[in-house]
């Protein structure tokens, strides 16, 4: 299997394990004043990016600003789990030609004013981004869960380069 597809599947499987263990209440909890979003809202945001890529492949244009804010995925972990599995199945259908396809990317680039930028990329580059983006948000979810006194898998929210570093450090320890 392609390394990039495999990495996306690994990340999505982390999300699946999280969803299978978190309670509905913890999934919806906003740990104020430290957070303004629940783990469910972060999960929806992660899924939005993968869905934008999936839809964008057919159009040769990805618009990351098309989001499902307020959708039931934010409050229903079972819907998020279904969506994760559907994305994983889609990833398994991709081939080398798909991965090399050039895509136009559209996204907002300013918090001060409405400013949308466009750039060229490829499907494989955008999948790398989506997996990294998911790991980043999993890290945030992990902190929110710790603040609720819940423990998650120690690899949840760890970036691949960090995991490699930690393996190296552990193998060098006396």
Query: What's the rounded Cα separation, in Å, for the pair 128 and 112?
Result: 28
Question: Does the structure show a pLDDT above 90 at 141?
Answer: yes
Confidence band (pLDDT; 50, 70, 90) for 170? Answer: confident
Contact 135, 157 (CB under 8 A): yes
Confidence band (pLDDT; 50, 70, 90) for 172? Answer: low
Question: Does the structure show a pLDDT above 90 at 158?
Answer: no
Where in the sequence is the domain holding 13, given as residue range(s)? 3-57+68-94+130-166
In a domain, 48, yes or no: yes
In a domain, 100, yes or no: no
In a domain, 119, yes or no: no
In a domain, 73, yes or no: yes
The predicted model scores a pTM of 0.91
Q: Count structural domains, the chain.
A: 1
Q: Is the dihedral of CA 23, 29, 34, 36 positive or negative?
A: positive
Mean pLDDT of the chain: 91
In a domain, 112, yes or no: no
């Amino acid at each position: 299997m392609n390394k990039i597809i495999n990495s996306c599947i690994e990340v999505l499987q982390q999300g699946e394990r999280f969803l299978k263990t978190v309670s509905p209440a913890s999934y919806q909890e906003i740990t104020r004043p430290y957070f303004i979003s629940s783990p469910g809202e972060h999960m929806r945001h992660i899924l939005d990016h993968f869905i934008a890529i999936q839809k964008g492949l057919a159009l040769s244009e990805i618009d990351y600003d098309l989001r499902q804010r307020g959708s039931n995925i934010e409050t229903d972990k079972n819907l998020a789990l279904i969506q994760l599995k559907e994305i994983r199945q889609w990833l398994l259908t991709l081939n080398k030609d798909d991965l090399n396809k050039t895509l136009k990317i559209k996204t907002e680039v300013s918090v001060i004013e409405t400013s949308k930028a466009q750039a060229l990329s490829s499907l494989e580059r955008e999948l790398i981004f989506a997996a990294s983006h998911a790991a980043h948000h999993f890290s945030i979810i992990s902190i929110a869960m710790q603040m609720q006194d819940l423990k998650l898998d120690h690899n949840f929210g760890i970036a691949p380069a960090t995991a490699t570093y930690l393996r190296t450090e552990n193998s060098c320890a006396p």
